[in-house]
Amino acid sequence: MNLALWQAARQSRDPRFDGLFFIAVKTTGIYCRPICPAPTALEKNVSYFQFAHSAAQQGYRPCIRCRPDSAPGSAAWQGTKTTALRAKQLIDVEQISDCEQLATRLGISSRYLRRLFLQHFGVSVTQYRVFNQCHFAKKLIQETHLPLSHIAFAAGFNSIRRFNDAFSQHLNMSPSKLRKNNNKAQETLTLSLGFRPPYNWHALQRFLAKRLVEPIEWLGDNHYGRTFTYLSCKGAFNAVYIKEKNQFKVNLTIDNTQYLQPVIAQIRRVLDLDADISSIEQHLEKNINGAFKLTNGLRLPGIWSHFEAGIRAILGQQVSVTAAHKLVTQLVNELGEIHGDNVYFPSAENVANSDLSFFKMPQSRKNALHNLAEYCANNPMCTDLDNWLALKGIGPWTINYAKLRGQSDPDILLAGDLGVKKAQALVGHFNEKKCAPFRSYLTFQLWQQL
């Protein structure tokens, strides 16, 4: 905690610190984001908290103007790989709420997990999960027309009564008063997803344009969208970049709101909205020793799933970006799943059951596609991509590419990539190991040099 830095950021409403800390005003009993438009409180009346749930624990309620529930994420994107942060990510993104299940996933005892969580975040696993559910529900209440009953279940509550009790306890307000009388039905949800600047949309747009696979993806001057499948739900989103507000306005359709929270987390990952990019670039700048000039605001363009990223990586082995793009488009046209007006990326089962005869490529490449598809069809919940090494035709480059874009791992240097090698030959010498834990950003910075 750097109190002087937080004080300066509060006074200037610096958007680069949005979500990195929260401000509680003693005289009003409200906690805010550092960018809150409300009049700046006197320093003697202010308390600082690294996490929103810490302010809530002290009895403060969230500001309705700046809405702390809409702040970009923080801790999970600061490069540290502690077990506690990983547990927090699993709760945020995958909605794993059972402590025993979390501990098993992390390979530790539940007792040790509880101790770690309390040490790093000052709350129990259960308290954090419920607060997280309430914050997400608050966002849906203020930004959508979903009925409160739908919101309760979308946020992970098992009953309306439990939802009302938890909301009042953790946010010091009732959901019905926050909603007022807004119960209009709505097929398309519209949500604002914030980020900390700088955000280089034009660089991201150029990268995506070369790899855009129609009709599952679409791209414009200020927007990107795609169809998606998440477990047993399907849907589509369109994200409009709004530079002036440091946010994307996202229109989202989904056929099962039970999966709304992890789907929104996936959209944030795909657009890399939670990166503290200023800190990342400062770290890289310090360790490349002036070898080249960094591109400001460069983000990691994600792919919806690690399976799709793996398939794209196999089709991109030893061919140009243009050739790989044609192959992925061909795969989608032949095996894509059609539901209503939407086309979705082929499922692992579809790829595994196809003879891929429409591809004019070596049989070994088709076998690699089959091997990956069969593995993912039989192990749909496995996220340890290193297991793919046992599959014939899949090597470290393919796995690292899938980690880089399909999981948005921040510390992947594609050392074997031809583009990275060419860029390294063009720039001055530096020790890339010192750029950890942000070597994924280094990879994209190097590609910018070509």
Both structure tokens of 140: 């849906």
* Whole-structure pTM value: 0.88
Taking the CB of residue 320, how many other CB atoms lie within 10 A of it? 10
Query: Would you mind telling me the total number of residues written for the chain in this entry?
Result: 450
Give the phi and the psi of residue 30 in degrees, each rounded to 5.
-120, 145
Give the phi and the psi of residue 447 in degrees, each rounded to 5.
-60, -30
Is 60 exceeded by the pLDDT of residue 234?
A: yes
Structure confidence at residue 77 (pLDDT): 41
Tell me the C-alpha distance between 202 and 219, whole Å. Answer: 12
Is 90 exceeded by the pLDDT of residue 255?
A: yes
All domains of the chain, ordered by start, with CATH?
3-70 (3.40.10.10), 83-179 (1.10.10.60), 189-274 (3.30.310.20), 306-406 (1.10.340.30)
Mean pLDDT over 251-270 rounds to 94
Structure confidence at residue 81 (pLDDT): 46
Q: What's the pLDDT tens digit per position in 202-231? A: 999 999 999 999 999 999 999 999 999 999
Q: What's the pLDDT tens digit per position in 146-191? A: 999 999 999 989 999 999 999 999 998 889 888 765 544 456 899 9
Structure confidence at residue 82 (pLDDT): 63
Are the beta carbons of 416 and 397 closer than 8 angstroms? yes
Q: What's the pLDDT tens digit per position in 351-369? A: 999 999 999 999 999 999 9
pLDDT grade for 36, boundaries at 50, 70 and 90 = very high
**Alpha-carbon radius of gyration of the chain:** 22
Q: What's the pLDDT tens digit per position in 10-32? A: 999 989 899 989 999 999 999 99
Q: What's the pLDDT tens digit per position in 277-286? A: 999 999 999 9
pLDDT grade for 74, boundaries at 50, 70 and 90 = low
Q: Across all residues in the chain, what is the average pLDDT?
A: 91
Q: What percent of the chain has pLDDT over 70?
A: 95
